């Protein structure tokens, strides 16, 4: 489940990392950790917002709107963990 929705196995949320066929194969075998994919996408989106000169707190608030089930501190931990 990403962004409040179930991942469509026909849609690869990380095409810059692996191709669609590999993603579908890994997903069908239960080898994709959806939480890790979600966290990767959150970090990527946060970096993009910061590059466009958005303040960190505003970026986190926007991410909270996109992921309403996550708390501010949870998103902060995701984006700042190494």
Q: Please give the DSSP secondary-structure letter assigned to residue 2.
A: B
Please write the tens of the pLDDT for every residue from 6-42: 545 469 999 999 999 999 999 999 999 999 999 999 9
Please write the tens of the pLDDT for every residue from 35-73: 999 999 999 999 999 999 999 999 999 999 999 999 999
Q: SS3 helix, strand, coil % of the chain, rounded to 5? A: 55, 0, 40
Distance between CA 3 and CA 52 in Å, rounded? Answer: 22
**Length, in residues, of the chain:** 82
pLDDT the model gives residue 56: 97
Q: Which of 61, 15, 70 is nearest to 37 (CA)?
A: 15
pLDDT category of residue 3 using cuts at 50, 70 and 90: low
Q: What is the pTM of this model?
A: 0.83
Top-confidence residue, 2 or 76: 76
* CA 29 from centroid of its chain's CA atoms: 21
């Amino acid at each position: 489940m990403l962004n409040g929705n179930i991942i469509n196995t026909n849609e690869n949320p990380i095409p810059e990392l692996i191709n669609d066929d590999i993603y579908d194969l890994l997903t069908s075998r239960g080898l994709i950790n959806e939480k890790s994919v979600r966290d990767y996408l959150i970090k990527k989106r946060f970096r993009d917002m910061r590059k466009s000169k958005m303040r960190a707190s505003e970026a986190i608030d926007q991410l909270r709107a996109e992921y309403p089930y996550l708390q501010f501190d949870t998103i902060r931990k995701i984006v700042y963990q190494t």
